[in-house]
Amino acid sequence: MALIAQTNLQFILEVAIFIQVAVMLLLNIVPVSLSLVLFFALILGVGLTMLFGADALFLFLPGMTHHEFTHPYGPLALLAVITLLAALPMMQEVGIKVRNLKGFTILLIVIITVVGGLMHRSFLLLWFLGLVIGLFVISKSLRQKSIFTVKRIILGIAVVLAGFGSLELLSRLLSMQVLSPLLRIERIQTNAISSVEMVIKNTTLFGHVPTSSYWGAEDMGSSSGYISLPISMIMLFGLPFPVFFGILVTKKDVIDYMLPGIFGFAYDFGYIVMILLLAWCVFVMVSGFKILEVYREKRERGNRNYLGREALLIGSLTAFISQALVGLFLMNRSINGTALLTFMFLSALVVAHVLVVKKD
């Protein structure tokens, strides 16, 4: 493969390798203490809360354009809050009072839930799924009593249904269809079946039938731009890749918005790449849980040197799992474009711990 990428797929692979190496080096050079991880998570959580809040506010201000930052950065918000929730009991173990910090973390979760839900309903799915996974992993890793009871599960479902119902009511009262969960569901129902049929009929082992793409006869049958890194990155490096912008985005939406990611990756790069992607996701998850066992054993033997890494791994692994499930099996947009960069970063943040453990 040439050093200068010739296709979207090559560009994605090269950037993924660069991010993996960079994160691995960073995690092994910087002393990742619990206080440093806590500081990082707080800054990231507060910053994304403000970003999501400003974006949600733009929905109600005339003449302002919103950007739906929850798609690309939602998993990073999940990384921040789960890392905080994992760090709190570790701090208690070493005698640090965390009552005020716990309250602040809960406040962040509430605000992100509200403003993120206003921006996009798919974010709520990723968010609630991530919180459930994260709390479960924390309870198992720290050997805490499970917080999940039948009563709490029922209450959680009721809260989710009430949230979606409130958004639908608000959209009708304000005549803002952009807030309506039912409208989004109807759009997917209307377009998803035809999109699935198009993908299945035209996908091959290494791409798709060229004439089925928007580019028609000019298409090469692979890496057509349906799955890509941010267009700004492609333009920055002056790479001659097919990109969608302007009105063409409506053509990309057939893959990007109406289908799960497995269909998007299969159509643009072929079934082989889809299978390799799924295999990589399984490898990242298995590796993450194996390393968590190692960190737990060290902590229970009295070794406090890995508390920061353990909290960071719990947060990054949770965010990775949640984004993978939502992006690959529900909505491709949650793992495409800038969100694909986030996915690469979270993946690297998990796998980088392998070198830490082996070095030790």
Convert the pLDDT of each residue in 3-54 to its tens digit: 678 899 999 999 999 999 999 999 888 888 998 999 999 999 999 999 999 8
Specify whether the CB–CB gap between 122 and 326 falls below 8 A: yes
pLDDT tens for residues 238-253?
888 888 877 667 778 7
Q: What string of H, E and C letters represents the secondary structure of 52-99?
A: HHHHHHHCCCCCCCCCCCHHHHHHHHHHHHHHHHHHHHHHHHCCCCCH
pLDDT band at residue 184, thresholds of 50, 70 and 90? low
**Looking at residue 150, what is its pLDDT?**
62
Of 199, 317, 348, which is closest to residue 261 (Cα–Cα)? 199
Quote the tokens at residue 127. Answer: 């968010």
**Looking at residue 183, what is its pLDDT?**
65
Mean pLDDT for the stretch of residues 111-136: 86
Distances (CA, A) of 330 to 259, 285, 325: 7, 19, 7
The SS3 of residue 191 is: helix
pLDDT tens for residues 212-230?
888 888 888 999 999 999 9
Bigger pLDDT: 178 vs 180: 180
pLDDT band at residue 1, thresholds of 50, 70 and 90? very low
The DSSP letter of residue 195 is H
> Per-residue pLDDT for 100 more than 90?
no
> Per-residue pLDDT for 320 more than 90?
yes
**Looking at residue 78, what is its pLDDT?**
96
Q: What is the pTM of this model?
A: 0.90
